[in-house]
Amino acid sequence: MKLNSLPIAVFSIMAMLVLAYSTFTTADSHNKKEKDTPTAKHGAGEKAWSDAGDDKRFTIFKADLTTANENMLGKKVNPQTPKDANGFLIGAYNNQTHMLSFMVGYSGLSQGGVAMSHFHLQCSGDSKEPPICKPGKASGPIIQTICGMPTQPGMVPDWPATKTDKDKHGLKKKCSEGNSGFIMGKWLVEEPYRKGLMDNKVFINLHTKLDPKGEVSGLLVKDK
């Protein structure tokens, strides 16, 4: 289920579906504090269906999720992890409202499937990085729970309750069961993390019972 193995037509259809989801559905309840602009609410119409790929209001992201990426992050997967564990992400980021609508697909995971899933930020330790990063030290803190634990910042060191994150909570309390499946959701990307997203420094991690530190992960990359 890797993106690079999908026919271009199939990828295009999937991207259009996510874009349609972004355009025509309302934000999750935790995002209702911030209202969409009039253009985001009323200006999409049929145009989103006919030429979604050319709509400059949206940036399309994709990611291939693999066990090899976990190993590159220094999180060695369990030797019993299935060799064909993999997944993908397709996302449509609204450049006006800063809402990322996404679909994650995965297959071949270890028994029990996804226990937790998060978006993380790659931090180098630079002093100009968001406060969630550790100064002078490379790290990969959670910047948004997709499903499972932690349900809010401050519960674990990897998701500190910074000024930006203190009132946030996870997008879904429970992850879907099974070692294959899909997750769809919306994340209103906060200002400190928007540059990291556009600079391809945000990655998604799927955790399982066998691999609590992560079984497959992938970097969100802008589709050219």
Whether 7 has a pLDDT exceeding 50, the answer reads no
Percentage of the chain modeled with pLDDT above 70: 75
The residue with tokens 């349609």 is 20
Structure confidence at residue 70 (pLDDT)? 87
Structure confidence at residue 34 (pLDDT)? 41
Dmax over CA atoms of the chain, in Å, equals 52
Residue 126 CB-half CA count within 13 A: 8
H helical segments located in 74-198: 191-198
Q: 3-state secondary structure string, 77-105?
A: CCCCCCCCCEEEEEEEEECCCCEEEEEEE
pLDDT by residue (tens digit) across 117-145?
999 999 999 888 999 998 898 999 999 99
Handedness of CA 97, 144, 24, 222 (dihedral sign): positive
Beta bridge partners of 87: 65, 106
Six-digit token string for 128: 């100009």
Structure confidence at residue 45 (pLDDT)? 38
pLDDT by residue (tens digit) across 105-116?
999 999 999 999
Amino acid at 12: S
Q: Is 108 left (phi over 0), alpha (psi -120 to 50) or beta?
A: left
Provide φ and ψ at 3, rounded to 5°.
-60, -35
Structure confidence at residue 43 (pLDDT)? 41
Structure confidence at residue 223 (pLDDT)? 87
DSSP state of 182: E
> Would you mind telling me the total number of residues written for the chain in this entry?
224
DSSP state of 206: E
Sequence-ordered list of residues with C-beta below 8 angstroms from that of 221, at least 6 positions apart, any chain: 61, 62, 63, 200
pLDDT by residue (tens digit) across 25-68?
434 434 444 444 433 343 443 444 334 455 688 999 999 999 99
Structure confidence at residue 75 (pLDDT)? 77
* Helix, coil or strand: residue 40: helix
Mean pLDDT of the chain: 82
CB 180 within 8 A of CB 112: no
Q: What CA–CA distance (Å, rounded) separates 172 from 27?
A: 13
| 224 vs 204, higher pLDDT | 204
